[in-house]
Each structure stands twice: as structure tokens, then as C-alpha cells.
Amino acid sequence: MEENNPHYLSEEHLIFKSEVSSWQEAIKIVAQPLLAEGIIEKKYIDAMIQNVMELGDYMVLVPKVAMPHARPEAGALRTDFSILKLEHPVLFGKKHEVSLIICLATNDNKAHLALLKRISALIDEEVKVNALLGSASKKEFVTLAETFIREEEEEL
């Protein structure tokens, strides 16, 4: 994978955790790598939580996967993403059990399109989501993600 390229997942942006107490905690945890690197400001985390509270669970894209995000002006300084993988799912809304949380930050509405294509390559099939959730290490997760993205790009 290319270093410092937001279109690729790095182990530093991947968090494995057994469980969290709430979807709010999940959002705070998944955003930490981006906050630590100055990719987002703290207010971006608050905006993501507020979006879920106001707009509901629309951030649940496919079964088991949520992608919290907010508007660029809410504190996204660069385009990048991070992922939280949970052993035990957390409830988003009243009915969505989520084990894979992808935090998307973009400082430009157009800049994130290529990144979204790569993220969609990870979650566009249930078998891929299950494979990622079954990964035992960050290295295995990243290797699977690279494979799924490469396969998707070869099909285009």
C-alpha cells in the first residue's frame, strides 16, 4: 500500500476492539486516529454524533457496517478514513447491529469520490464484510482490503 495516501488503509487507521458501550463511543474511538493526525478537529466527532441523533441510522450502509461522517466545514481538514472492527456488535438506531465502523473525513465534497469507490469495494458484498470481520490481525485485515480493492479496480 502507498504510504500517506488517504485512498489506502493503513494499520495505524485500523482499530480492533472487543466491544463498546454505545454507538457514540464507537464514533469517538474510530475517529481517534484521524484526530491524532490532525485530519479532523474534535468538533467533527461531535458533528458525526449529532448527525446520527438528528438524522437517524442512515449511516448504516449495509448490514453490519456504518460510515459516520459530517460536512467538511464541521472540522474535516483533509480527506482520509479509519476503521473500527468490533468482535461484539453495537446497536445503531433500534435495529442495526454494527461491527464495522468506517469514519470518513473529507475537506472537499469532490475529493472523496475515489475514496468512496475503494471503501465500497470492501463492503459491496456480504462475503467481503464477513471476511474482514473474521480477520484475526490488522495485517490480515489490510491484506484482505487490498485484495478486494484490487479485484474491484481490475473489473473496471
Q: What is the mean pLDDT of the chain?
A: 90
What is the CATH classification number for the domain harbouring 104? 3.40.930.10
Say how many residues make up the chain.
156
Distance between CA 146 and CA 140 in Å, rounded? 10
Is 2 contained in some domain? no
Count: domains in the chain: 1
Is 144 contained in some domain? yes
Instruction: Please give the pLDDT value at position 152.
Output: 82
Is 4 contained in some domain? no
Q: How confident is the model at residue 7 (pLDDT cuts 50, 70, 90)?
A: low
- Threshold 0.85, pTM exceeds: yes
Is 3 contained in some domain? no
Range of the domain at 83: 11-155
pLDDT score of 3 more than 50: no
For the question of residue 96 being annotated catalytic, the response is no
Burial of 78 (0-12, 13-18, 19+ CB in 10 A): middle
pLDDT tens-digit series, residues 8-54: 688 999 999 999 999 999 999 999 999 999 999 999 999 999 999 98
Is 58 contained in some domain? yes
User: Which one from 7, 13, 69, 112 is the annotated catalytic residue?
Assistant: 69
Is 99 contained in some domain? yes
